[in-house]
Amino acid sequence: TKSLASYEQQVFELVNKERAKRGLTPLIWSDTLGYVARLKSQDMVNNRYFSHQSPKYGSPFTMMEHFGLSFSAAGENIAYGQSTASEVMNTWMNSAGHRANILSASYTHIGVGVAKAANGTLYWTQEFIKPY
């Protein structure tokens, strides 16, 4: 089975491939955002929820600030149940709101986090920001 880190890397590459197709600047990987994204995915697994609002960390914005990030723009995409990076990217790209985050010119940095539930279900998170 693929490592979760390799899934995260693949999603990151696919995001920049979609952006490149449209002449958009590639997003820069942020280790802190990657950490937050992975924690968010794990939090959804641990607390059995699927929402932008975490019972533990609050909104994505509050969560990012909690880990020392400051930003003028931020967004989050979440998904679960997809078994590959291309599958989750197809899901997101076929949804207007999620696609808008992936293709936004407002963001400069991204982190991707994947967590696996006991039953094998994968939870996927993308965090986007434009830092101050």
pTM over 0.75: yes
Quickly name the fold that domain 4-131 has.
Pathogenesis-related Protein p14a (3.40.33)
Q: Does residue 1 surpass a pLDDT of 80?
A: no
Query: Using one digit for the tens of pLDDT, what is the confidence trace for 22-64?
Result: 999 999 999 999 999 999 999 999 999 999 999 999 999 999 9
Query: Using one digit for the tens of pLDDT, what is the confidence trace for 67-115?
Result: 999 999 999 999 999 999 999 999 999 999 999 999 999 999 999 999 9
| Confidence grade of residue 2 (pLDDT, cut at 50, 70, 90) | confident
Asked if 111 and 30 count as a contact pair (C-beta separation under 8 A), the reply is: yes
